[in-house]
Structure 1
Amino acid sequence: MTLEVRVIRTLQDPEKIKKVGEFFQINTENSINFIWYWTEQTLFKWDFWLSWCFAIVPWILWLRYRNKQNNGRLLLAGFLAIIIASWLDFTGVNIGLWYYTGLAIPTIPDYVPWDFCMIPVLIMFMLQISPQTSAYLKALMFALISAFIGEPLFLWIGFYKMLHWNLLYSIPLYFLLFILCHKVSRIRFE
C-alpha cells in the first residue's frame, strides 16, 4: 500500500505562503535558541523564583482579601485586564518597544507575572476598595502607580528594558485599561 500525497491548491498566493513561512522559520529558530538560553541562564535562578513570586503572591492576597460578594464581577474585570494587558505587552515586545529578562515562561515574550497577575489583581483590589470614589480618580491613581512605581521597579531589578518607550506613554494606556475594567465590573447579571 502506497500513500499518495496530494497537494491542495489554495486561494492564497503561493509566493506569499512561502515568504510568510520564511518569517516563521526565522521566528521558530529564534524561539528555540532563546528557550535554550533561558534554560541555562534563568531556569531555577534567582530571577526565575522572583518572577514566580510576582505571579503567585498577588493571587494569594486576592484569595485572602477579596470581596466575596462581588467575586464574579471583579474576576470578569480582572480577566479583561489580563486580555488587554497581555495583548498590549505582547505587541510592544514584538514591535521592539521593550523586552523582558527573567521570564517566568520562556515561550511567552511578555512578562506573565505583570500581565496575568499584578495588573489584574491591583485593578480588582482598587475596584472593590471605596466603590463610591470616582472611577477616573482611581484610574489616574492606577496609571501613576503602574507607570511610576511598577515599571521603574522592574527597570531597577533588570527585568524590563525599554528600547523605544517612555514611562509617560504608559499612563494613558493604564488609565484606559482601568476605565474599561471598571465599566465591565459594573455589569449586572440578572
Structure 2
Amino acid sequence: MEQLEIGSLQGEEKIRKAGEFFKKIADLNKEYLTYWYHHTFLHWDFILSWVLAIAPWIFWVKYRKKDSTGRLLFVGFFAIIFSSWLDFLGSEMGLWYYTGVAIPTIPSYVPWDFSLFPVAVMVLLQMKPSWSPYLKAAIYSTLCSFVAEPIFRWLGYYVLVHWAYWWSFPIYFLMYILCEKISKTKTFSKLDP
C-alpha cells in the first residue's frame, strides 16, 4: 500500500479504504487480462471484433462526403464519447458485459463504441438529408436496439444481465438527435487570423 500523504484534506481512513477498493479492482483486472490472453486473444471472436472495429472506418473513408469530413468527424467523436461513457456505466453497474473483447480494458467493447455506432451515425447523417431527423433517429434506434444488439447477443459478445433491448431504444434515439444537432452547428470557423 502506498504511503499516505500527511496533511491531506481527505481523512486517512477514507484514503486507505478507497485504496483497498482500487487494489481489488486492479487485482481483478490482472486476473481478467490473464484469462483474456488465454481464451480470447487471437481467437475467432477477437479477430472478428477487430474486423468490426476497423472495417466500418474503411467504408466511411471511402464513401464519406469529402467536403464534410471535419464536421462528420466532430459528430463521430461525440458519438464515441457518448456511447463509450454510457457503455462504461452500464458495464460497471452490472447491467451487461461483453466477451470476445478486442482490448481487455475500458472502453467495454471497442467495435460498438469506437466504430459501429459512430460510423453508422455519420453515414446516416449523409443519407437522405431531407428526411426528418426524428425518422432517421427512429431507424437508427430500431436497427441498433432490435437488430444489432440481438445479433451480438446471439454471437455471445453481448450478455444482458439487468437490461432489455427496448431500454436501449430511447438512448440511441437521443444519441442520434444530439449528433444531428451537432452536425448542423454554425460555430465552426477558420483558425486563420
Interval of TM-score (by shorter of Structure 1 and Structure 2) = over 0.9
Residue of 13, 26, 30 corresponding to 2:28: 30
Q: Is the 8 A contact 2:107 2:113 kept in 1?
A: no
Pick closer, same or farther for the CA change 1:62–1:119 going to 2, 3 Å. same
Counterpart residue number, 1:176: 174
Pick closer, same or farther for the CA change 1:86–1:6 going to 2, 3 Å. closer
- The residue type equivalent to 2:128 in the other structure is S
Counterpart residue number, 1:158: 156
Counterpart residue number, 2:102: 104
1:71-86 superposed matches below 5 A: 71-86=69-84
Give the Cα separation in 1 of the matches to 2:11 and 2:142.
Answer: 48
Give the Cα separation in 2 of the matches to 1:127 and 1:86.
Answer: 20
Pick closer, same or farther for the CA change 1:151–1:9 going to 2, 3 Å. same
- The residue type equivalent to 2:73 in the other structure is L
Q: CA deviation at 1:108?
A: 2.0
TM-score w.r.t. length of structure 2 = 0.94
Give the Cα separation in 2 of the matches to 1:7 and 1:94.
Answer: 29
Give the Cα separation in 2 of the matches to 1:158 and 1:116.
Answer: 19
Q: CA deviation at 1:107?
A: 1.7
Give the Cα separation in 2 of the matches to 1:131 and 1:107.
Answer: 37
Q: CA deviation at 1:13?
A: 1.3
**Which blocks of at least 5 consecutive residues in structure 2 are unaligned?**
none
Q: Is the 8 A contact 2:98 2:158 kept in 1?
A: yes
Q: CA deviation at 1:11?
A: 0.3
Q: CA deviation at 1:43?
A: 0.5
Residue of 42, 45, 67 corresponding to 2:43: 45
Is 1:88 matched up with 2:86? yes
Where has structure 1 moved over 4 Å in runs of 4 or more?
none
TM-score w.r.t. length of structure 1 = 0.95
Q: CA deviation at 1:71?
A: 1.0
1:130-169 superposed matches below 5 A: 130-169=128-167
Give the Cα separation in 2 of the matches to 1:75 and 1:81.
Answer: 10
Q: Which SS does the other structure have where 2:97 is aligned?
A: strand
Q: C-alpha offsets along residues 105-139 of structure 1, whole Å, 9 cap, x if unaligned?
A: 01225111111000000000000111111001100
Q: Is the 8 A contact 1:100 1:109 kept in 2?
A: no
Counterpart residue number, 2:120: 122
Q: Is the 8 A contact 2:4 2:12 kept in 1?
A: no
Residue of 108, 111, 114 corresponding to 1:113: 111
- The residue type equivalent to 2:170 in the other structure is P
- The residue type equivalent to 1:106 in the other structure is P
Pick closer, same or farther for the CA change 1:70–1:6 going to 2, 3 Å. closer
- The residue type equivalent to 2:160 in the other structure is M
Give the Cα separation in 1 of the matches to 2:44 and 2:15.
Answer: 42
